[in-house]
Amino acid sequence: MHPKGGGPPVVVDRVCHELNALGVESNILTTNLCASQNDHRWKETWKSKDRIDIQTITKQSPYAKSPALLSALKQQIDAYDLVNLHTLWTDSSRSVRTVCRATDTPYVVMPHGMLDPNSMQRKRLKKKMYGTLVEFPILRSSAGLLCTHEEEARLARKSVSSLPPAYITPLGADSPPDNRETLRQEFYETHPDLKNKPTIVFLSRLHEKKGLDLLMPAIRVLKKSVPDVQLLLVGSGEPSYEQFLKELILKEEISDCVTMTGNLVGRLKWQAMAAGDVFSLSSYQENFALVVVDALRLGVPVVLSNRVNICSNIVEANAGLECRLEPDHIAEQLRTLLLSPEKCHTTGVNGQQLVEREFTWRRCAERTKQAYESILES
């Protein structure tokens, strides 16, 4: 549950709160794997208003057996009807199966895109060996998968055979702390050089799967028709990858139009997102992309690749444009929106309406509760 974990901790936090509001008591058992030795205050990020307990187990490595975790599960399992597992590729999932089997307690797995073929290709041999011996039998023994989209379920079945039924639980968008124009003006107070310039915002973890190697040459192409375009690059990553990006920016000769802010959280994150005329995510693989629905919630139109699983929903709602994984096409789709303020506005409004209809945390919790009930009644 450490914030370094990215999207999954956010999902767990938001859904647990909404489930409690729906009368489903849920508490969290996690490890401290992502926390540094002196990082003792990270749980304050998830301070609860409805008394959700977060119990932390000390663990030295993902694959090491944890007697403490196994003991905690055994002590608490009788109080619960069902276990929702949010991790793969760690010994934690094996502990869950061991205790659930012994007590005849069903467990479900939310894979968070980790069964996508693109994800499975990373460390392919290790995953194939560990998966065959450990992880895949755990998945097959579960009562079901909670997938955020039909596409995630389809891709998971492509990666692993004989999986249990999938229950579709689309994720939600957070509410911005203020209206878009107020947040935008606050951002300009610290970045006056970007004011009144067409701005593309990328806000996510800086990682090779995000397609930034395509976005940078796309910006070089885009400059030919939109000379004053700016790219706001918000996020952080491994030092080696950040250095790669800096070198790529120099190579593409776009240093004058790229601003790297590092990681931003809270109101600062929303300010940066509000400053964008268009949000861009040309990922090679993206399970759901919480940051995309946050952008839509704020009214920022998006350009994203069809490797983002919710791309079809967004395009069908005229809330954004799909791009191929080609710099020229990314540039073309960004240009289409930047050169048409009216289209930008209409697309942004459509995005807000789409989020209100389909992507709320309450709706996610309702679908999750329905999945739980279906499993417990079977």
Q: Band of the pLDDT at 287, cuts 50, 70, 90? A: confident
72 vs 334: CA distance, rounded Å: 51
Residue 206 · residue 237 · CB < 8 Å: yes
Radius of gyration for the chain, computed over Cα atoms and rounded to the nearest angstrom? 21
Would you tell me how many other CB atoms lie within 10 Å of the CB of residue 211? 26
Question: Using the 8-state DSSP alphabet, how is residue 149 labeled?
Answer: S
Per-residue pLDDT at 46 exceeds 80: no
132 vs 145: CA distance, rounded Å: 18
- List, as one string, the DSSP characters of 26-77: --EEEE-TTS-TT---GGGGG--SS---EEEE--SSSSS--HHHHHHHHHHG
73 vs 80: CA distance, rounded Å: 10
Per-residue pLDDT at 40 exceeds 90: no
pTM of the model: 0.87
Beta bridge partners of 200: 231, 278
What domains can be seen in the chain, in order of their start residue?
A: 3-172+361-377 (3.40.50.2000), 180-358 (3.40.50.2000)
Tens digit of each residue's pLDDT (9 = 90 or more) over 71-125 = 999 999 999 999 999 999 888 999 999 999 999 999 999 999 899 888 888 888 8
Q: Band of the pLDDT at 49, cuts 50, 70, 90? A: low
